[in-house]
Structure formats: structure tokens, C-alpha cells
A and B are shown apart, each in its own frame.
Chain A
Amino acid sequence: MLSPHEKAYCQALLALRQKEYAKAETCFGQAAEHYRENREFMILWETTRVLLAVKRELAGLPKEERDKIDIEEAFSRG
């Protein structure tokens, strides 16, 4: 059977496919003990972590500011 670490890595990748980034981050964390030397693992884990941090940061901004950006982007693309 799969070891808990393999299973966690596998679930992390499947979570990424579903764009469930928080779940992916948790699963990467569970797999980390065995995959720290694996470059691909680390890149995916770090990217997910940074992405979640960015999302958290954005979530803390007032809604109006985000909406304003969306409108500006829509205009700038014509």
C-alpha cells in the first residue's frame, strides 16, 4: 500500500488539479518529511504557499479596491 507520505503527495497533486490550494498545502505539509530533497515537490509546495499568502493578503483588502482593479483591467483590455 502507499505510505502516508506518498498518499499525501498524491492527494496534494489531486487537490491542485481541483484548485483546492489550502487542501494541497496541508497535504504537501504532510508529505514534506519524505520529499524535502525532491526539487519538484519543493517548487510546487512553495508556489502553493506563496499563492495562499497572496490570496490571504488580497482577502484582507477592502472589496471596493479589488473591484476597482477588476474594472480597470477590463478597460485596459478594451
Chain B
Amino acid sequence: MSQTRSLMRLERLLETFLEQVVATKQERLSVLRGINRLDDLTRESDQGLDITEHVGEWFAEHNRWLNEPQLRAGDINRIAPMLSKIRESLDNRGDESAASMKIRSEIARWEPKARQASQKLVLRRGPEGVEPQPSRPPETPTAEQSTGQPEGEETIARLDSVLGRMQRLFTGLSHGRKHVLSALDSALRSATMQRQKDALLLSGFIIYYLKQNGYKVEPYVKRLKEAERLIREEA
């Protein structure tokens, strides 16, 4: 086989490989494209540019994500602060146009999705063998109440679910970071700005882990307490 022929075969082989990788990631790439576009718009709005029309187009294209499962918790944790920032710049500009009001209402539609990524942990009884305190507020009904699971197993299932969400959150926050401190910083920001309880729990866990490994954690503890206060106030 001539060198030219070998090169052409290799070219075709490499192109096919890349095409197939892209094909297997089609859905993920479409999510990334949407997040990247929103990120561009957020930056433009930060620079004071009028992006109302483009954000409207973004919602028109991506609002279906609200009802479809392709978004990961990490994606929502990316999208939510961008939308907050866009709303903030609309507020700063004092833009009360109909288009801008529409954008605000679209952003509001995304808020439950952001909250859903950080569902609350509701402990409905104390540890085994301890009677519930009579002074406690009424317990929040949960989906598990209708599953017929015994309460003890229910608490384990709930913690298991929270740990799973924290793991996914950590994967999202640490993606592309060089140090766990960067992931902690992002987690604390999510807890503070988006009042995300999972992010708060994850921050607490990382802080304790760092403390055990000899890091100075005081500044982070302060931020954790502040985030905790904000979340408590909002609850």
C-alpha cells in the first residue's frame, strides 16, 4: 500500500472515530451548546449590551429542558446563576419593557428546577429509640410517606439520595478544577446565592475533610455559617 493511500485511510479512520464519538454525545453536546450560548449571553449582558431578544430566543429553544430529563444537577447549577445574573442586569438597567418582563417571567419558571436540584432533607424523627420532640413543627409530608417504608429505612434511603445528589453536585463543581478548594468555593457560592441546601451540606463535608487534612478552614467556616443563615431565613 502506498504512503498516500495509507494516509488517506488513516484520515478516514480518524474522522470516523471523531464523528462516532460526537454521535454518542449528541444529546450532551446539545446541552453544552445551550449552556455555552447562555454563558455568552450572560457575559454580553454583564457588559451592558441589550440581549433581551437573544435571551428570548434562548428560552424559546431551551424551555423544553424544563420538562425533559437531559439536564444534570451540575447543568442546572450552571444555568441558574447565569439566569440570576441576566435578571440582575435587567434590574440594574431598570428595563421594564414587555420583552424584559417576559424574560423575567421565563427566569422565574426556571427557579423551581434549580430548587429541585437541591431538594430539602426532612428528618421526621430522631435517632432510633428516641421519641420525637413534642415541640417540633408539623412534619412536611413527603412522597415516601405513601411508600409504606418503615421510618428507619426511610431515613437511610433519604440520606442515600442526598449523598448521591452531593456526589453529582461535586462532580459538576469540580469538573475542570485544579484543587478541591475551588470546588468548595463554588459549592459555597451555590449555597449562598441559590440557597442550595445540597451545596451547603457538601460545603460542610469538604470543610471537615480539609480540616482533617490540616488545612486552615476558618474563612470557609465563616462563609458556611453565612450560607446556613441565609438558607434558614428563606425556609
Residues of A participating in the B interface, judged by any CB pair closer than 8 Å? 1-3, 5-7, 9-11, 13-14, 16-17, 19, 21, 31, 34-35, 44, 47-48, 50-51, 54-55, 57-58, 61, 65-66, 69, 72
Contacts and interface: CB of A to CB of B under 8 A. Distances in A.
B173 to A, nearest CB: 11
A1 B43 contact: yes
Q: Report the 3 A-B pairs with minimum CB-CB distance, sorted nearest first.
A: A51-B14, A2-B39, A34-B176
B10 interface: yes
Given A2-B78, A14-B33, A69 B4 contact: yes
B contact face: mostly helix, strand, loop, or mixed: helix
Contacts of B177: 34
A55 B36 contact: no
A35 B178 CA distance: 9
Contacts of A17: 22, 29
Contacts of B29: 13-14, 17
Given A2-B35, A6-B175, A7-B39, 14 more contacts: A1-B42, A1-B43, A1-B82, A2-B39, A3-B176, A6-B176, A10-B35, A13-B29, A35-B176, A51-B15, A51-B18, A54-B14, A55-B11, A69-B5
9 contacts: A7-B36, A10-B32, A13-B25, A14-B29, A14-B32, A55-B11, A58-B4, A58-B11, A66-B4
